[in-house]
Chains A and B, each alone.
Chain A
Amino acid sequence: MSAAKGGPMLRARGVTRKFGGLVAVNNVDFEIPRGSISAIIGPNGAGKTTFFNVIAGIYAPTEGTIELDGKPLISPPTGAGREPILLVLPTIPFIALAIYFLMAVGGDTGLVEGVASVAVALLGFVGALLLNIVRPDWYNRLIKRIGVTRPARPNDMVVAGLARTFQNIRLYKSLTTLENILVGMHVHLHAGLLGALFKTRQVREEEAAAEQRARELLAFVDLAGMENELAANLPYGKQRLLEIARAIASRPKLLLLDEPAAGMNPKETEEMTALIRRIRDELGITVLLIEHDMRVVMGISDYITVLDHGEKIAEGLPKAIRTNPKVIEAYLGRGAAAGH
């Protein structure tokens, strides 16, 4: 955790997201202070979820950039038109060899040469395809030079230090709670195909350590003793807890919570609030949440940003937001602000 550095944990600049003609998020500037618990609120259809999904890497922004911990993380894809060149270039040897092969069928090339040419061609083709699908960092840098950038995917976000939960809990239902956590730890484990096949010492130790930490995480969210329970069999509130535990298993710098208290009773809500605080205080993770429940938002947020019709209409401390006439208007409609 590079807490030493100053500056905001997340900084969004001019983020816009359009769907066809519809502008869901319009030119939003936004910052999350390091170590804070921040919230985005807004009436239904305000663009909260879209903005959230842009941060989580599910939608690429149409315009604007987002930095995490001072490093650029998300920017709109550019040069998509030039991308096919990169797809085609590596496959040229393949095409050439395929033509050679086709001619060879008619000609009198030997069997071995024919099979070998096909093999080499296929290798080239597979390589080109893989490059474009897996797109390792060096390849991304390479294509950046000709002006092609591509949207990062959710899994890249996790590597960069961002984890999230979902509004409608998405657990791996037929896996045990412990396994759910272990999947959450994915990016910090390194066992590969061969390691798994031969069960090397390194892999066994890594697995043991991961399991140990997973238990600790479960204990942290108060799910100790339920390690072998199937996720689907947990009660609703505990599923939420498990999902949060899975998210923090990836050791994020920033945790995005999508309506963490949705559907919970007051007692559960209180526990959830306490947990979110503990996540910040004990684990030092910055938290950003979207929440409808104003008690939760006002109770735990250090900073609140209000969106309406895709635009930021207010931001600041809870106290200030509560009395902000624009916010009241957005929530209660025009005219209500005066009376409040």
Chain B
Amino acid sequence: MKVLNKKGLSALAAVAILAAACGGSTASTAGKTLTIGVSLPLNGSSLASAGPARDGALLAIKETSIEGYTLKAKVLDHAKEGAHNPDQAAADMLTFVGDETVVAVVGPFNSASGKAQIPVSSEAGLLQCSPSNTAPGLTKGDDGAALRGGRAVNYVRVATTDDLQGPAVAVYAKKNGAAKIYILDSTDAYGKGVADAFEAQFKKDGGTVVGRTGLPTGTTDFSAVATAAKAADADSIFYGGVTSDGAPLFRNALAQAGLGALPFYGADGIYDGTGEGSYVAIAGANAENSYASQAAIENIPGKDAFNTKFKAEYGKDAEGYAFAGYACAQILVEGIKAAVTGGDVTRETVRAAVVDKGSAFETVLGAVSFDEVGDTTQRIISLYKVDGGAWKFVEEINYGN
């Protein structure tokens, strides 16, 4: 029950970054300054999930030093009136394109913004790495090809696509004894996408979906849906969406309706640690017996070290997309370093270093490499369960290559 959160910390972070940036030099030493753009939705409700990704990326950039170059970060926020805005996302990408020092970009966060940004960055040959995009159509198939417009891959992502995560949870739920499931989604691209994938797999495996509906982001009243789930006689619940869409509110409403004991499944949208504002923190005791997934391996060697660093910097635990943001920046930095080693740092050399070489990057998420369309080849889904007020690893599903 903490009342005031540690605000000002992110302000301090920005201070640190700006101090680091300004301390080096002004933009006049062109050719020496390299900038990594950070393009995320950073106000309103988007901030809750995208904020950690920014913090992670800024941390990675801050701790990097490259001989003979000054590495800067430039953060642009494309949320408007609290929601990510594809129009602004595209405009921000154009801003990065127009800034010659920018050699790579971390972002975007949402797939709609991805669809708006990828054609721009692709035309400019500017590398971008998304910490969170999971919509398959951004890279795969005709849709992906249309976004790239026949050009070389310039967009990579560290999260594996929805078409794996949803089914993984479905397989696990089935194994865990779920037969009659009630599905609720947040009606947005992520929530609905993952719920659709879950539903398809669950039905394929012989499960019954006893009810399915969606409540848009911003809904606070989940009692009607909880009662509907009760009336449908569900034995398990699936929620497609993120914590700030109302996952813990739904869980609480279920408990109020007397369904608090049912297993509650979600994807990585609710796997956000135990800190302030997290699923576990808000749902409290009701969070027990909840399951979530994460598109990453569980046993990352550097995880604790990263958390220590992160906590030292921002005064809070690294949670949610902090890892992915950090990993993205790590990959971009590795690319830049490779380009520096090659003697010529341009957008093209950085892009090629990350995408074309097929090399693996050691990141906080483990070893990451990319396939021919820029998706991570680390296709591992880890599953977690809330037990005793904390997420406990239960198993891992490897979809291989």
A and B touch in the complex (CB under 8 A): no
